[in-house]
Amino acid sequence: MSKTPFSEGITAGRLSAAELSENFGDLHPRFDDHEALVAADRCYFCHDAPCMTACPTDIDIPLFIRQIATGTPEAAARTIFDQNILGGMCARVCPTETLCEEVCVRETAEGKPVEIGRLQRYATDTLVDAGVHPFKRAAATGKKVAVVGAGPAGLAAAHRLAMHGHDVTVYDARPKAGGLNEFGIAAYKSVDGFAAREVDWLLKIGGITIETGRALGAGLSLDGLKATHDAVFLGIGLGGVNALGVDGEDKDGVEAAVDFIAELRQASDLASLPIGRDVVVIGGGMTAVDAAVQAKLLGALNVSLVYRRGRDRMNASEFEQDLAASKGVRIITNASPKAVIGNGAVREIEFAYTDDDLNPTGDTIRLAADQVFKAIGQTLEGEGLPALERGKIKVDDAGRSSVAGIWAGGDCATGGDDLTVTAVAEGRDAAEDIHATLMA
Amino acid sequence: MADLTSEFIGIKSPNPFWLASAPPTDKEYNVRRAFEAGWGGVVWKTLGEAGPPVVNVNGPRYGAIHGADRRLLGLNNIELITDRPLEVNLEEMTRVKRDYPDHALIASVMVPCEEKAWKDILPMIAETGCDGFELNFGCPHGMAERGMGSAVGQVPEYIEMVTRWAKEATGLPVIVKLTPNITNILYPATAALNGGADAVSLINTINSITSVNLDVMSPEPMIDGKGTHGGYCGPAVKPIAMNMVAEIARNPETAKLPISGIGGVTTWRDAAEFMALGAGNVQVCTAAMTYGFKIVQEMISGLSQWMDEKGYESTADFVGMATPNVTDWQYLNLNHVTKAVINEEDCIKCGRCYAACEDTSHQAIEMSEDRVFTVKDDECVACNLCVNVCPVEGCITMKTLEPGDMDERTGQPVSPDYGNWTTHPNNPSVQAAE
């Protein structure tokens, strides 16, 4: 007998293939030509545009939109890629509602910003889909740079270094390059294997070798890399998952949200992916929303997202919160996990209600749960890293770590805000500093 | 409620909105629907000589330029006069006029520059019951190559001669339609007046190439790889048309010549502006071709509301009211000082005023780090560019300084006196006269 959302326990096949395909379709499909022109026409070509200032990678947004409006999306793509080589993924995953679009003057004027993210996707897809790589590699410098981590920071650094003529080897612990773009983002934000296609397209610059299945500590040492390369860039992300720190956390069915998201992204058949009937996600960031929404889309009957503070403190943007709510996720705030209850496997989870300062009010609530996803933050893992600050590799504005010859960027380093686009900016800027250092 | 009933050179119509001689008025089907939609009158598409009618191209006839969101701002065409047989048009006109006796029906006419041709055809057309004639001296393409249309309109002597023939051939009112493809509109207007015209209508279309096909390297509209200049019309030509209307209206010799205003009239406001400058009524084409006949409803309601608000009972109350205020540059009051003022509440912080002023004008706008834009009165020459580029209507305005107020740019108090160039000390001819 086939399963339904009402079926008990953690089980696969709650929804039909057709329903799953519909649920996991493109969240914001690409604009067609007409939609792009209409959207581009709304841009005022502002002076010293607020959207540009808000973009961590400083993309010249008014210029690329004007290039779209005048029928040259290829030139628009070039403008974007000049600043952000992963502009295609950023167009899909950037929380534009809290970055460029939030400050768009038409948001001020009409409460409806120019749809910058979707226009960026229109432009970047034009070149990526055509397989056209718009940059050429400079003459070889003979310098070798090791990049550890093939996520947004590492890829951005590698591309910029290769463009300047250096030979780059990118090491990544996973079996595929892409980092969080490939393993850590909701499937409906990056359909049709875009993350992998984007990596292939990026590598067309030449001069970059990717070695997967190579992790620091597992046959790869920082000292070894330093000895064999002229510079090292660390973009290793945050490999560890914070624990709830409550009784019963080790029960079956309590999992890291990032693992669920990664498994889902790599699944070839969503119908074979098991999901609970009563799912509880703990956390208030993008990872929590991605896990909760996807659990619902897989056919979970009840999905609750529980956050310890108020909605206004959630890291997930208002858009993400609304998306979760629209998909049927119940958002519970001001509740901290107290105990995971169950005999072997989780059956219920108890929360204590708290005020905004996290003081318990004395009230508790128990939610039925056959699956619990932890999404309360990730931590840096690794031995022998350069000096840390607040749990991250301490870097200066140029991405230099405490150790000469080692740069770092992205989520593993200080200074960022755990966004793809920020990681790209940091990787790019560190690469420029590495280049300047090596050529000095 | 305001009375929109119009009487133009004795021709009555329910309102001052006529459809110009053009594709919308080429046949009975269209004209009936136009009248039903509310148009006050039509100038039937230009009739030519009896016999085999002209032929049109069988490819694109129109080219266009667009504004944001593909809003059509300018249209050009290479269509000729009616390509239907004269007798068919006359039969249709007769039926339409019979069924719509209270609407204006004007026959536009263009035949070769021969007295007999004009004197033969006008009485024949008059039998349709039409209310008057419009002599097409304006078409800039095709027919002009055959010595008609603007080929006549560009030679004042021809205008006067043909107008006289027409007036001799008919007792009906004769309107002379003028081409803008000349250097001074007063010459053709005066010629029409001297020939006995009852009115002029203007403007006809402007010689134009709207775009170039960069693949084929040909002007558009393109016919088999080639293009020709077409006649330009639509919102883009309104400023040119209004200037010509005003020139005729304020010229003492032609001031009494009634004018039917044509050129980019798209809204009631456009119509009111033409009429304020001296047009007794307006003719519309491109707006109807862009949006359909229904737009006349907005023109009627808008003009009516505005007239009510202003207390005008009939259109005659405001026709020409702006004409006396059209003057020569040399008579503008140089002691009138204004300054731009940016309303921070309305400002959406796009910075276009700043870019325009800083890059291309007088560096008179200051931008703070948090994007507050302020006018520097000591630099502002009140050029109005910031007002024009601001996307928010009414956000930037011009404040008039009162006499005695300090003009921080010049360091001089504003003079209470009127003073123009003719008396200005920097004017060499003033000094020469001393």
What would the DSSP string read from start to end of B49-90? -SSSPP---SS--EEEEE-GGG-EEEEEE---S--S-HHHHH
Does residue B228 sit in the same domain as residue B241? yes
Does residue B335 sit in the same domain as residue B284? no
Residue from the list A38, A47, A109 with its beta carbon closest to the beta carbon of B348: A109
CB A97 within 8 A of CB A318: yes
Say if residue B343's pLDDT is above 80.
yes
Q: CB–CB of B352 and A37 under 8 A? A: no
Say if residue A40's pLDDT is above 90.
yes
CB B111 within 8 A of CB B148: yes
Alpha-carbon distance of A128 to B128, in angstroms, equals: 66
**Structure letter (DSSP) for residue A221:** -
Residue from the list A41, A45, A108 with its beta carbon closest to the beta carbon of B349: A108
Beta bridge partners of B175: B134, B199
For chain B, say whether A38 makes contact (Cβ under 8 Å): yes
Looking at beta carbons, which residues of chain B come within 8 Å of A105? 348-350
Does residue B358 sit in the same domain as residue B317? no
Domain A241-376 has CATH 3.40.630.10: no
Give the pLDDT confidence of B412-430 residue by residue, as tens digits.
999 999 999 999 999 998 8
Query: Which residue, of B305, B325, B345, is where some domain finishes?
Result: B325
Say if residue B312's pLDDT is above 80.
yes
Query: Which residue, of B309, B325, B341, is where some domain finishes?
Result: B325
**Domain spans in chain A, listed from the N-terminal domain onward:** 33-130, 144-239+380-439, 241-376
Q: Which of A44, A68, A102, A104 to mutate to test the interface with B (most CBs of B within 10 A)?
A: A44
Looking at beta carbons, which residues of chain A come within 8 Å of B70? 37, 41
Residue from the list B70, B348, B351 with its beta carbon closest to the beta carbon of A47: B351
How many structural domains compose chain B? 2
Report chain B residues touching chain A, CB-CB < 8 A: 68-70, 348-352, 354-355, 367, 371, 391-392
Q: Does residue B427 fall inside a structural domain?
A: no
Q: Does residue B426 fall inside a structural domain?
A: no
Alpha-carbon distance of B320 to A271, in angstroms, equals: 77
Rounded to a whole number of angstroms, the distance from the CA of A38 to the nearest CA of chain B is 6
Looking at beta carbons, which residues of chain B come within 8 Å of A108? 348-349
> Mean pLDDT across the stretch B304-319?
96
Does residue B400 sit in the same domain as residue B309? no
CB B384 within 8 A of CB B361: no
Kindly state the percentage of chain B with pLDDT values over 90.
Answer: 94
Say if residue B434's pLDDT is above 80.
no
Q: CB–CB of B68 and A41 under 8 A? A: yes
CB A322 within 8 A of CB A328: no
Does residue B235 sit in the same domain as residue B350? no
The boundaries of the domain holding residue B117 are 6-325
Does residue B179 sit in the same domain as residue B314? yes
Kindly state the percentage of chain B with pLDDT values over 70.
Answer: 99
Give the pLDDT confidence of B135-155 residue by residue, as tens digits.
999 888 888 888 888 889 999
Task: Quote the pLDDT of residue B141.
Answer: 83
Alpha-carbon distance of A394 to A413, in angstroms, equals: 6
Q: Is B386 a catalytic residue?
A: no
For residue B257, name the pLDDT band (cuts at 50, 70, 90): very high
Give the pLDDT confidence of A8-34 residue by residue, as tens digits.
999 999 999 999 999 999 999 999 999
Task: Quote the pLDDT of residue A261.
Answer: 97
Does residue B120 sit in the same domain as residue B222? yes
For chain B, say whether A108 makes contact (Cβ under 8 Å): yes
Q: CB–CB of A109 and B391 under 8 A? A: yes
Does residue B320 sit in the same domain as residue B409? no
For residue B432, name the pLDDT band (cuts at 50, 70, 90): low
Q: Does residue B260 fall inside a structural domain?
A: yes
> Mean pLDDT across the stretch A370-389?
95
For residue B243, name the pLDDT band (cuts at 50, 70, 90): very high
All residues at 6 or more sequence positions from A103 whose CB lies less than 8 Å from its CB, including other chains? A50, A51, A53, A54
Q: Does residue B386 fall inside a structural domain?
A: yes
Looking at beta carbons, which residues of chain B come within 8 Å of A37? 70
Residue from the list B349, B354, B367 with its beta carbon closest to the beta carbon of A105: B349
Nearest CA-CA partner of B49 in B146, B115, B118: B118
Beta bridge partners of B11: B8
**Which helix (H) or strand (E) is A361 found in, with range?**
strand A360-368
Beta bridge partners of B201: B177, B260
Q: Does residue B432 fall inside a structural domain?
A: no
Say if residue A1's pLDDT is above 80.
no
Q: Does residue B428 fall inside a structural domain?
A: no
Looking at beta carbons, which residues of chain B come within 8 Å of A46? 349-352
Task: Quote the pLDDT of residue B140.
Answer: 83
Say if residue A295's pLDDT is above 60.
yes
Alpha-carbon distance of A422 to A398, in angstroms, equals: 13
For chain B, say whether A109 makes contact (Cβ under 8 Å): yes
Q: CB–CB of B69 and A38 under 8 A? A: yes
Please state the ipTM of this predicted complex: 0.86
Residue B233: both structure tokens together: 């019309």
Candidates 1.10.3720.10, 1.10.1060.10, 3.40.50.620, 1.10.1740.10; CATH matching A33-130: 1.10.1060.10
Does residue B333 sit in the same domain as residue B371? yes
Annotate A272-296 with b (16+ C-beta within 10 A) or e (fewer). ebebbbbbbbbbbbbbbbbbbbbbb
Q: Can you say how many angstroms the Cα of residue B172 is from the centroid of all Cα atoms in its chain?
A: 25
CA atoms within 13 A on the CB side of B344: 10
Rounded to a whole number of angstroms, the distance from the CA of B377 to the nearest CA of chain A is 21
Query: Which residue, of B306, B325, B344, is where some domain finishes?
Result: B325
Nearest CA-CA partner of B339 in B269, B406, B259, B252: B406
Averaged pLDDT of chain B: 96
Say if residue A191's pLDDT is above 60.
yes
Q: For residue B116, what is the domain's CATH number?
A: 3.20.20.70
Q: CB–CB of A38 and B391 under 8 A? A: no
Topology of domain A144-239+380-439, CATH: FAD/NAD(P)-binding domain (3.50.50)
Task: Quote the pLDDT of residue A2.
Answer: 81
Does residue B302 sit in the same domain as residue B383? no
Torsion angle of the four alpha carbons A290, A295, A296, A297, in this order, in degrees rounded to the nearest 10? 80
Does residue B217 sit in the same domain as residue B115? yes
Does residue B34 sit in the same domain as residue B180? yes
For chain B, say whether A49 makes contact (Cβ under 8 Å): yes
Give the pLDDT confidence of B66-90 residue by residue, as tens digits.
998 899 999 999 999 999 999 999 9
Q: CB–CB of A48 and B69 under 8 A? A: no
Please tell me if the domain spanning A144-239+380-439 has the same topology as the one spanning A241-376. Answer: yes
**Annotated catalytic residue: which of B130, B139, B380, B386?**
B139
Task: Quote the pLDDT of residue B431.
Answer: 63
Q: Can you say how many angstroms the Cα of residue B385 is from the centroid of all Cα atoms in its chain?
A: 24
Residue from the list B69, B348, B354 with its beta carbon closest to the beta carbon of A108: B348
CB A311 within 8 A of CB A356: no
Say if residue B433's pLDDT is above 80.
no
Q: What angle do CA A62, A66, A69 make, to 5 degrees?
A: 140
> Mean pLDDT across the stretch B307-324?
97
Instruction: Please count the other Cβ atoms lying within 10 Å of the Cβ belonging to residue B396.
Output: 23
Query: CA B281 → CA B134, B167, B220, B306, distances in Å?
Result: 14, 22, 33, 16
For residue A416, name the pLDDT band (cuts at 50, 70, 90): confident
* 3-state secondary structure labels for all residues of B338-370: EEEEECCCCCCCCCHHHHHHHHHCCCCEEECCC
Task: Quote the pLDDT of residue B143.
Answer: 85
